[in-house]
Structure 1
Amino acid sequence: MKISIERATLLRAVAQAQSVVERRNTIPILANVLIEAEGDTVTFRATDLDIEVLDKAPAVVEKPGGTTVSAVTLHEIVRKLPDGSLVTLSEEPGAGRLTVAAGRSNFNLATLPREDFPVMASSEYSSNFSAKADVLRRLFDKSKFAISTEETRYYLNGVYMHVADADGGQVLRCVATDGHRLARIDADLPSGASDMPGVIVPRKTVGELRKLLDDDDMEIAVSVSETKVRFATPDITLTSKVIDGTFPDYTRVIPQGNTRKLEVDASEFAKAVDRVATVSSERSRAVKLQLDEDRLVLSVNAPDSGAAEEELAVAYGDERLEIGFNAKYLLEIASQVDRENAVFMFNSSGDPTLMREGNDTSAVYVVMPMRV
């Protein structure tokens, strides 16, 4: 095999590959990226047996062929090469070494046979549709903060993507929760998606998918089966197993009868929470909200380190209320608001609180209160 490829193109492809491979591997070949060249295209494939990423790039292919080489090492080398350089990758048959050359730099890297590289079995996808990158980005970006990191409740370690019924008909919905907070984000249902099975997309896959979604207008081809999900752009295909479990009935957690309404400037609220939480004890980070007529007082009382209080002008016309929250959860939810105003709907100091952006009900957040 012998190919010549621009550094920027190569860097983009190997950056995607090396982020998929696991750093600690008991199977040596899983640390490698599979490079295959044919025609005027070179493909880079990496997997951890749960996720597989395939990246196509244009290249001058002098000799077609393929090999596997350490993804992390190749990425480090390419990252340190000068901008604009042309990189040559070559391997003589049976040599077991890949030569990486650019300008006056020359590297020899150990390889493993391409035949040993595991390729994820292709699946029959029961649902195929396409969605704009900015739509998918909003669905996953606004929900991923609520993904649970508790390994025992593995079915919460991802974003539940499914078709749901809403007021205006069916929607494509992403939900994530860790039992303390919940995010439910809706988007218009893409054509061809109505028969999609509900799947739990793992946390790592959500992180890798984010890298595919930078171009707002790009159409992403989405394929879903009971066991796998695939997202594809013209150049990159990301295939992942889904979490084998049942996502809980989240609709029971979303409060329907909360009537006390607080309207507040989202960024001012987030900054104020951040300021008063500075003195809170790291363990609980509890912030107390005291609500009165058009007035909100945020306070923290940490006996070990001190106390803090800040007042905000808000729109609130219901009876007086005191309620406590984990500061981190409040900050994460407030930072999801793209519009100016955040609307909080309360019931009592012991009940879940609902938050949305203005009158927009396509993004709804729930946070459980704390005793303060």
Structure 2
Amino acid sequence: MTAFSTIEAASVTISHDDALRALTNASKAIDKKAEVEILYAAVVRSAPGGIAISATSLDLTSTTFIRCQAPKGFLAVFDCQTGLNLLKKAKKSDEVTFTMLEHGCQVSIGKLNVKLNEVANRDEELPSINDTEIRQLNQYFTIPSAQLLKIIEKVSFAISTEESRYYLNGIYMCPTTDGETSGMDFVATDGHRLSRFSIELPEGAEGLEGVIIPLKAVKELHRLLKRKECPENVAIRATDDLVQFELDTEETLLTKLVDGTFPDYSRVIPTKPAMTASACPRAMADAIKQVTSIAVEKGKAVKLTFAPGELTFTLDEVSAGSAEMTIRSDNEIDFVIGVNPSYMLDMFGQIEGHVEFGLIDEGSPMLIRDLANPEVTMVQMPKRL
């Protein structure tokens, strides 16, 4: 916990772009359902070489460092969303000045001067993750930004949003060993489908225990990585309770981890499927969309019928009738299985090459591979017809 300090009025000036970026980042960390007023605050404080603008929900903290001239001990606290709204309506060419007042903060943008009331009293303590915990982030390694973005996009669709299964509400990151080969898996599952992305073990990640990165942090990290100005690498610091993502030295995302045990995902991934088949994911997605156009019941199972050289999609709807569509498929098998169409579409949306199916029987998990991305493994549980 960090206490407010009492100093004489002072100000800092930064560009509109930097201010907008920092407050946008801060706003993403805030819990919109928080009952404590201070948890809606943006905190602007002096830091070596500039200022740091941050916000926290106590589970997720976003901090943006901006190089500028800043007086020592500068501290301004105001409602983050109000400040962000001001910046969104201002001209991008205008500089932004934050000035400390006795009971608040003045934000000056061009000719506009707005006094914002302080969110907390001067002697109130600002919430933060304990400094001792942050210093214990002794596990350090880096992952290329483009690779981390790809991991999130290939895996996150399978994250569960059921609060009762909180231990599935994130991406599981864990080191792996296969004989003499060491790697790292990123896995998500909701119990009905699973997606795993495997990479070589980054240097420095040896000894890391498996951790579950919560969904909110995953979404914000994805947003940061998608920007054009994203750095080449992301530094990751971790303990059993926290993980911090550092984008250069300017932006950090610190999150508490999901406190739970991720299931042994390797047990549901078929290792020796009895049959294989492949097809074009775009053709399959189109077939699913067309046959489900008559569906009345949401999530109604679609029947996949594999026959030599073809794959037929069938949906039977008692009140509406039935729909059927056949596409070409590279296989020499006869096999029938039911699937959830929405789950299949989510998977096909992340597949870049041809789909390869690994099949056992109609009651066993179905292995799905992207032939263009061998590091990705997906599993779909069958649905009763």
With the shorter chain as reference, the TM-score category is: over 0.9
Question: Which of 271, 278, 286 pairs up with 1:271?
Answer: 286
- What is the alpha-carbon distance in structure 2 between the residues aligned to residue 144 and residue 78 of structure 1? 31
- What is the alpha-carbon distance in structure 1 between the residues aligned to residue 207 and residue 47 of structure 2? 37
| Residue of structure 2 in register with 1:105 after alignment | 112
| Residue of structure 1 in register with 2:237 after alignment | 223
Secondary structure of 1:142 counterpart: helix
Secondary structure of 2:236 counterpart: strand
| Residue of structure 2 in register with 1:175 after alignment | 187
Q: Which runs of 4+ in 1 moved over 4 A?
A: none
| Residue of structure 1 in register with 2:39 after alignment | 30
- What is the alpha-carbon distance in structure 1 between the residues aligned to residue 127 and residue 112 of structure 2? 31
What one-letter code is carried by the residue in structure 2 that aligns with 1:255?
P
Alignment pair present for 1:143 and 2:158: no
Question: Which of 245, 269, 282 pairs up with 2:260?
Answer: 245
- What is the alpha-carbon distance in structure 2 between the residues aligned to residue 282 and residue 166 of structure 1? 44
| Residue of structure 2 in register with 1:159 after alignment | 171
Question: Which of 298, 307, 311 pairs up with 1:296?
Answer: 311
How big is the shift at 1:160?
0.8
Alpha-carbon contact 1:2-1:64 (below 8 Å) kept: no
Q: TM-score, normalised by structure 2?
A: 0.90
How big is the shift at 1:60?
4.4
Alpha-carbon contact 1:280-1:286 (below 8 Å) kept: no
CA deviations over 1:303-359 (Å, ceiling 9, x no partner): 2344322221111112x2121111111011111112x21111111221110001117
| Residue of structure 2 in register with 1:54 after alignment | 63
How big is the shift at 1:274?
2.2
CA deviations over 1:155-192 (Å, ceiling 9, x no partner): 11111100012477111111111110011110121111
CA deviations over 1:244-278 (Å, ceiling 9, x no partner): 11111111111123122121112222222222222
Alignment pair present for 1:236 and 2:251: yes
- Distance change in 2, residues 1:98/1:189 (3 Å): same
- Distance change in 2, residues 1:9/1:207 (3 Å): same
- Distance change in 2, residues 1:283/1:101 (3 Å): same
- What is the alpha-carbon distance in structure 1 between the residues aligned to residue 80 and residue 290 of structure 2? 42
Alpha-carbon contact 2:77-2:104 (below 8 Å) kept: no
- What is the alpha-carbon distance in structure 1 between the residues aligned to residue 61 and residue 24 of structure 2? 14
Question: Which of 311, 321, 337 pairs up with 2:335?
Answer: 321
- What is the alpha-carbon distance in structure 1 between the residues aligned to residue 276 and residue 179 of structure 2? 21
Question: Which of 59, 82, 95 pairs up with 2:91?
Answer: 82
CA deviations over 1:69-106 (Å, ceiling 9, x no partner): 111111111111122221222122x2x23222222333
How big is the shift at 1:113?
4.3
Question: Which of 370, 375, 379 pairs up with 1:357?
Answer: 370
Alignment pair present for 1:367 and 2:380: yes
Alpha-carbon contact 2:46-2:71 (below 8 Å) kept: no
- What is the alpha-carbon distance in structure 2 between the residues aligned to residue 370 and residue 282 of structure 1? 14
Secondary structure of 2:58 counterpart: coil
- What is the alpha-carbon distance in structure 1 between the residues aligned to residue 382 and residue 224 of structure 2? 36
- What is the alpha-carbon distance in structure 1 between the residues aligned to residue 377 and residue 171 of structure 2? 15
What one-letter code is carried by the residue in structure 2 that aligns with 1:244?
D
Moved more, 96-105 or 44-53: 96-105
Moved more, 56-65 or 117-126: 56-65
Query: Over aligned residue pairs, what C-alpha RMSD do you find?
Result: 2.0
Question: Which of 104, 113, 134 pairs up with 2:146?
Answer: 134
CA deviations over 1:102-145 (Å, ceiling 9, x no partner): 22333221113465211211321241111111122222221111
- What is the alpha-carbon distance in structure 1 between the residues aligned to residue 277 and residue 323 of structure 2? 22
- What is the alpha-carbon distance in structure 2 between the residues aligned to residue 371 and residue 259 of structure 1? 20
Question: Which of 340, 348, 360 pairs up with 1:334?
Answer: 348
- What is the alpha-carbon distance in structure 1 between the residues aligned to residue 305 and residue 104 of structure 2? 67
Secondary structure of 1:256 counterpart: coil
Secondary structure of 2:225 counterpart: coil
Alpha-carbon contact 1:139-1:173 (below 8 Å) kept: no
- What is the alpha-carbon distance in structure 1 between the residues aligned to residue 215 and residue 84 of structure 2? 23
CA deviations over 1:40-63 (Å, ceiling 9, x no partner): 512111111111111111334378
Using the aligned pairs only, state the percent identity: 29
- Distance change in 2, residues 1:81/1:168 (3 Å): farther
Alpha-carbon contact 2:55-2:62 (below 8 Å) kept: yes
Alpha-carbon contact 1:3-1:63 (below 8 Å) kept: no
Structure 2: gaps spanning 5 or more residues: 1-9
- What is the alpha-carbon distance in structure 2 between the residues aligned to residue 218 and residue 79 of structure 1? 28
Question: Which of 305, 310, 325 pairs up with 1:310?
Answer: 325
Question: Which of 206, 222, 225 pairs up with 1:210?
Answer: 222
- What is the alpha-carbon distance in structure 2 between the residues aligned to residue 211 and residue 359 of structure 1? 25
